[in-house]
Amino acid sequence: MVCSVMLNNREVVAIIPVRGGSKGIPGKNLYRFGNDTLLERTIKLSQKCDKIDKVIVSTDDDEMYAISKQYGVNMKNKRSAELANDSAKTIDVVTHVLDEFELDDVYVVLLQVTSPLKMLDDLNKLFDEFSSDKKAEAIVSLCAFDDPHPDKIQKIEYGYVKSYMGVESMVARQLLPKVYRLNGAFYLTHSDTIRYKKTFLPEKTIPFVMPEERSVNLDTMRDIFLLESLVDKKLIQIEEY
């Protein structure tokens, strides 16, 4: 890792949470994309960024723990079963990492390996935009979302179709307000926000908008097929580290 640049006079810690036992895509964190697994890509991306001081992988999986040791970003022990089950919250996993390494008064950037199209330039711009807004408590990556637009979503209530949002749904798409979704690539906030507010999205969270084509998030096999199709058709370029 190259010599880092402090963020608002504080160190930056990148935390990468990965666990075994994925149900939507078996073994998805070790899916090979380009030259590396998703986990290795995210580790290398973090280590390439000169704004990050320390990289830590939290995992319960033997193979992923071995990879984290190989890159020198491992915890003392694998994550406990309690913090690796389906009901475990990411905020609790991150707090556990902060406690184990006794990290206080630092910025934490959470990177999820299931957003494989994020780029080093995205990460650098995220830091730049956050540091330029002195009132911001956090920054999160988003992308535009309108398929379907939330105002168009319906529910069935007592056998009848009702607007989920309680609004008029038969409105021209062009007249609807622009909305965004979390794309899962980056979350950045202060360690105190994580410890005491128990969130990565405090009140003064600013947006970091990424293009839709780099916002694929791998949850199901359909997402894998979409990703591979984008690569096969050369609609995206894989950034290697």
CA distances 204 to 87, 134, 137, 207, Å, are: 27, 11, 5, 10
pLDDT at 226: 86
Summarize pLDDT for 8-53 with one digit per residue, the tens: 789 999 999 999 877 778 788 999 998 999 999 999 999 999 999 9
- Residue 78 carries which DSSP code? P
pLDDT at 102 over 90: yes
Give the sign of the dihedral formed by CA 220, CA 222, CA 223, CA 224.
Answer: positive
pLDDT at 25: 80
pLDDT at 3 over 70: no
pLDDT at 2: 45
Single-letter amino acid, residue 194:
I
Distance CA 109, CA 144 (A): 22
When pLDDT is averaged across residues 141-155 and rounded to a whole number, the result is 92
On average, the pLDDT of the chain sits at 92
DSSP strand pairing (205-209 vs 138-145): parallel
Confidence (pTM): 0.90
With 0-12 / 13-18 / 19 or more C-beta atoms within 10 angstroms meaning exposed / middle / buried, residue 52 is buried
Strand partners, 33: 36
When pLDDT is averaged across residues 138-156 and rounded to a whole number, the result is 93
Name the percent of the chain lying above pLDDT 90.
71
Give the sign of the dihedral formed by CA 177, CA 202, CA 43, CA 126.
Answer: positive
Reported confidence tier of residue 157, pLDDT bands at 50, 70, 90: very high
- Domains annotated on the chain, with CATH: 12-142+182-232 (3.90.550.10)
Q: How far is CA 177 from the centre of its chain?
A: 25
Distance CA 42, CA 55 (A): 10
pLDDT at 1: 44
Summarize pLDDT for 196-226 with one digit per residue, the tens: 999 999 999 999 999 988 898 998 888 898 8
pLDDT at 4: 57
Summarize pLDDT for 62-99 with one digit per residue, the tens: 999 999 999 999 999 999 988 888 888 999 999 999 99
